[in-house]
Amino acid sequence: EHVSQGPVVTAFEQKLAEYLGMPYVVATTSGSAALLMSLLAANIGPGDEVIVPNRTWIATAHAPFLLGATVKLVDVEADRPIINAGLIEDAITENTRAIIPVHMNGRSADMRSINEIAQRYNLTVVEDAAQALGSQNMDGFLGTQSDMGCFSFSVAKIISTGQGGFVTTRSEKIYQKLV
């Protein structure tokens, strides 16, 4: 009766929302699609710049590229493959619109610093938590500490559906753009 959407998907979204303590979860076809949809919801397009770490899966940089935005690479920390929050501000220009920190293998980016920078410059933060479902830092689950969080269910993830993903947000306005 339902090929890809329906009551089972809705129930799955609700369970994920309960687990993560988020009001809104939207299932997607992949983690890559979750990133792309999040940037679309943030109105990212040609002429915009999106900051991403220089060590990540290609999907992180591919999403803004597909929308015509310029990808700005920021180096990772010396001892961890996580974006160096101390270098982000130097990469911001008048065209910067978003930051995509990646929680690589469950290791948390410095979300407090990243969110402070984003607030100061009016930037959207989209957490790439594709490899971090269930991982936490002192502020809670990764992928729940910014405007949107993106997750993956591909084969190598902690929960796999073969393919698939989802986006989390606390914003009803963003949620309405995602659905």
Question: Which residues are tagged catalytic?
Answer: 157
What is the C-alpha to C-alpha distance for residues 144 and 122, in angstroms, rounded to an integer? 19
For strands 124-128 and 148-152, give the pairing: parallel
**Strand order of the sheet with strand 49-53?**
24-28, 165-169, 148-152, 124-128, 96-99, 49-53, 70-74
Element (H, E) at 53: strand 49-53
H or E element at residue 97: strand 96-99
Structure tokens at 77: 């920390």
